[in-house]
Amino acid sequence: MQMPDPDQRVIERRAEIIKAMRTIVPGEGVIADEAMLKAFECDGLMAYRQLPLIVVLPETTAQVSQILAYCHLNDVKIVPRGAGTGLSGGALPLADAITLGLSKFNRVLDIDYPNRCAVVQPGVTNLGVTKAVEADGFYYAPDPSSQIACSIGGNIAENSGGVHCLKYGLTTNNVLGLEMVLMDGTVLRLGGKHLDPGGYDLLGVMTGSEGLLGVITEVTVRILKKPETARAVLLGFNSSEEGGDCVAAIINAGIIPGGIEMMDKPAIHATEEFVHAGYPLDVEALLIVELDGPQIEVDHLIEQVGEIAKGQGAVYSRISETEEERAVFWSGRKNAFPAVGRMSPDYLCMDGTIPRNKLALVLKRTAELSQKYGLRVANVFHAGDGNLHPLILFDANQPGELDKAEQFGGDILKLCVEVGGVLTGEHGVGVEKRDLMGEMFTEDDLKQQQRVKCAFDPTHQLNPGKVYPTLHRCAELGRMHISRGQVPFPDIPRF
C-alpha cells in the first residue's frame, strides 16, 4: 500500500508546529514523545503502522477551529481520529500529518426525550450514548460490534452499521445534526433537532466521508425507546443456499426481523469452541433470527419464522425462552472475530455486500479461492442486508502470507462487485480498499466524488491518501473543456 510521499519541509518544521499547537492546546493535549506516539500508530487495521508527526487532543470546538486554521495556513495535513477502532485504516497516521484525536470530546451535552434525541460530543462511545439514556428505557439503535469502544464521531465518519440495521437503519438514518469544522477553521452546523433541513443534504454526505471532508465536534442522534422484548431463534441448515433461501422466505412473508445473522461451518465451529453457545456442529449454515417488539408480536412472529424455516429444510431449530438464553445465542456471533482469531495468528476481515440471492455462488467461489491460495476462510454474514464478512486466516510471520491474504481478500471483493454488490458494507474504504475502488467505479465516478471533496477541502489536507487511489489537484478536477458552439445540436426528439 503506497501512501503519499511525506512532505519533508513539514517534517523539518516539526518543532515549530509543536510550539504553535501548544499555544492552542495547553497542557498534555499535544503529544510529541515517540514512545507516547506509538499508541496512535495504527487503528483497527493493524497490518499498517506509521508514527504520526504529532498527536493533538483538543477539548473545545474553538481549539479545533484554531488548529485547522493554523494547519490550513501552514500546509500541515490532518488525520482525524475517533477511538481508533476502524477496520479499514481510515485513521492510519501520516508521517507529515497531525493526528487530531477527538477522545477528549467525551461529554453528553443534552438528552431530550420529548424530541427523542441526544446531543453528544463525538468522542462519546457508541455504547456511551445508550448508557446515558438506558435508565429511562431508551437506546441508540446502530450497534457495530465494537460499540463498547468505538466513538460516535467515528461511527459518523464510517456510517457504521451493526446487526440491527435492516430494521433500524445505519448511522446515516439515525443522525439528525452535526457541528463540524472545515479545514480552514470555519465552524458549521448541519441539521439539528428537526428533520430534513432544506438545502443540499451535507449532513448526509458527511456521514460516511471517512474524515475527508471535515472534523466533527458535536453530534445530535435519534434515540428510541427500547423494544418491550426480544427473542431469538437458532436455525440450522444442510447448505448455505438453504439458509439464504430461508432469509428470503422470511422477508417475502413480510417479516423484518430486528436481526438476521448467518454463519458457515468454520465460523460455527470456531465460535462454539470459544464461547460454548450450544450451536449445532453438524450443520453447514446457522441462522440467528431475532424478533423484537411487543411480547405478543414477538411470540406471534417467532412461531411464523419457525414454520417458514421448517418449510425451507431447517434441520435444527431452537427458540430462546429466556433473556439469558437469547444472550447466549448471540454470544457466539458477537465473538466471531476473536473466536476466529484464536484459530490463527492473524486474520483479515472482509466486508463486501452482495445481492442476497448471490450468496450461494459467492460462498462457492470463495471456497475455490481458499483452495487456490491455500488459506482458510470462515464466513459470517449480516444475512438480512447482504453484508458478508469473510475472515481470512493467515500467519503474518510466514513470508508472503500477508500479501497472499490481501490478494485473496481483493479477489473476494472483486467477486462481490462482479455479482452486483459493493466493496464495503460498513467498514469503510480507508487505505485497505482504496486501490480496489477502480473495480467498482469509473475514473469519472471517482473524479465526481473528489470534486465534492474539493468543495469542502480544496487543499486536500484532510486525511489525504485515504479512500481515493489517485489524488487529483482540485484545479485539475474543476477544469472543463468547453467548446462554445462546437457541439452540434443533439440528435434527439424535440418538440
Partner 1 sequence: MTEILKPDNADQVLDAVKWAVSEATPLEVRSLGTKAGFGRPVQAGRVLDLSNLSGITDYDPGELVLTAGPATPMAEIERALAAANQELQFEPMDLGPLYGGSTDAPATGTIGGVIAANLSGPRRVKSGAARDHFLGFHAVSGRGEVFKSGGKVMKNVTGFDLSKLMAGSFGTLAVMTEVTVKVLPRPEKTRTVLLMGGDDEAAVAALCDALGSSHEVAGAAHLPAAVAARSGVGYVAGAGASVTAVRIEGPGPSVEHRCAALTDQFKALGAVEELHSHNSIAFWREVRDAIPFTGDRAGDQVWRISVPPTAGAEVVRRLTDGLGGDAYYDWGGGLIWFALPTREDAGATAVRAAIADCGGHATLVRASADVRQAVEVFQPQPGPLDELSRRVKDAFDPEGVLNPGRMVAGV
Q: Which residues within the stretch 254-283 sit at the binding site for partner 1 (CB under 8 A)?
A: 254-256
Min CB(188)–partner 1 separation in Å:
6
Distance CA 296, CA 423 (A): 39
Which one, 68 or 429, has the nearer CB to partner 1?
A: 429
Q: Which three cell numbers stand for residue 200?
A: 443540499
**Binding to partner 1 by residue 440, rule CB under 8 A?**
yes
Nearer to partner 1 among residue 212 and residue 319 (C-beta): 212
Q: Does 355 bind partner 1 (CB under 8 A)?
A: yes
Q: Does 204 bind partner 1 (CB under 8 A)?
A: yes
Residue 9 touching partner 1 (CB under 8 A)? no
Report d(CA 66, CA 186) in Å as an integer: 9
CB of 246 to partner 1, least distance (A): 11
For residues 457 and 249, give the distance between their C-alpha atoms in angstroms, rounded to a whole number: 46
Exactly one of 16, 448, 470, 473 binds partner 1 (CB under 8 A); that residue is: 448
Q: Which of 61, 344, 407, 449 binds partner 1 (CB under 8 A)?
A: 449
Residue from 10, 45, 354, 375 touching partner 1 (CB under 8 A): that is 354
Strand partners, 100: 56, 80
| Residue 482 binding partner 1, by CB under 8 A | yes
Candidate residues 26, 294, 311, 438; the one interacting with partner 1 per rule CB under 8 A: 294
Give SS3 for 14: helix
For partner 1, how many residues bind (rule: CB under 8 A)?
110
Beta carbons within 8 Å of 171's beta carbon, 6+ residues apart:
142, 155, 156, 158, 159, 160, 161, 207, 208
| Cβ proximity to partner 1, 31 vs 287, nearer residue | 287
Residues 220-259 that bind partner 1 (CB under 8 A): 225-228, 248, 251-256
For residue 377, give the amino acid letter.
V
Residue 149 in the binding site for partner 1 (CB under 8 A): no
Q: Which of 459, 362, 366 is nearest to 420 (CA)?
A: 362
- Whether residue 7 contacts residue 468, with contact meaning beta carbons closer than 8 Å, is answered with no
Task: Tell me how far, at minimum, the Cβ of 452 lies from partner 1, in Å.
Answer: 5
Q: How far is the CB of 183 from partner 1 (least distance, A)?
A: 12
Residue by residue, DSSP assigns 96-130 as TEEEEE-TT---EEEEETTTTEEEE-TTSBHHHHH
Residue 441 sits in the site that holds partner 1 (CB under 8 A):
yes
Among 110, 445, 470, 473, binds partner 1 (CB under 8 A): 445
Q: For partner 1, which is the closer residue by CB, 72 or 453?
A: 453
Taking a C-beta distance cutoff of 8 angstroms, is the pair 126, 151 a contact? yes
Q: Is 16 exposed, middle or buried (0-12, 13-18, 19+ CB in 10 A)?
A: exposed
**Residue 101, interface with partner 1 (CB under 8 A)?**
no
User: By C-beta, is 35 or 487 nearer to partner 1?
Assistant: 487
Q: Which stretch binds partner 1 (CB under 8 A): 273-281, 310-318, 329-337, 384-392?
A: 384-392
Decide: is 420 part of the binding site for partner 1 (CB under 8 A). yes
Q: How far is Cα 20 from Cα 72, in angstroms, rounded to an integer?
A: 13
Phi, psi of 108 (to 5 degrees): -90, 120
The C-alpha cell at 172 is 446515516
Binding of partner 1 at residue 300 (CB under 8 A)? yes
In the complex, minimum distance from the CB of residue 195 to partner 1, in angstroms, rounded to a whole number: 5
Q: Is 429 in the site for partner 1 (CB under 8 A)?
A: yes
Closest approach of partner 1 to the CB of residue 187, in Å:
8
By the rule CB under 8 A, 475 interacts with partner 1: no
Verify binding: residue 39, partner 1, rule CB under 8 A.
Answer: no
The total of other beta-carbon atoms located within 10 Å of residue 110's CB is: 12
Query: What phi-psi label fits residue 460: left (phi over 0), alpha (psi between -120 and 50 degrees) or beta?
Result: left
| Residue of 190, 230, 267, 369 interacting with partner 1 (CB under 8 A) | 190
Which one among 27, 399, 400, 488 touches partner 1, defined by CB under 8 A?
488
Round to whole Å and give the CA distance between 386 and 27.
47
Among 297, 325, 346, 406, the residue binding partner 1 under the rule CB under 8 A is: 297
Burial class of residue 488 (count of CB atoms within 10 Å of its CB; 0-12, 13-18, 19+): exposed
Residue 76: partners with Cβ closer than 8 Å, 6 or more residues away = 10, 17, 53, 70, 96, 97, 98, 461
Packed helices 336-343 and 265-275: angle between N→C axes, nearest 10 degrees? 90
* Stretch in the footprint of partner 1 (CB under 8 A) among 1-9, 61-69, 296-304, 367-375: 296-304
CB-nearer residue toward partner 1: 207 or 370: 207
Per CB under 8 A, 135 contacts partner 1: no
Min. distance of Cβ 98 from partner 1 in angstroms? 23
User: Can you point out the beta strands (E) in 259-353?
Assistant: 259-264, 285-293, 316-319, 346-349
Amino acid symbol at 428: G
In the complex, the smallest distance separating the C-beta of residue 351 from partner 1, rounded to whole angstroms, is 9
Q: Does 82 engage in binding with partner 1 (CB under 8 A)?
A: no
Site membership for partner 1, residue 173 (CB under 8 A): yes
Specify the stretch interacting with partner 1 by CB under 8 A; choose among 91-99, 322-330, 368-376, 422-430.
Answer: 422-430
User: Rule CB under 8 A: is residue 208 a binding residue for partner 1?
Assistant: yes
Q: Alpha-carbon distance 127 to 125, whole Å?
A: 5
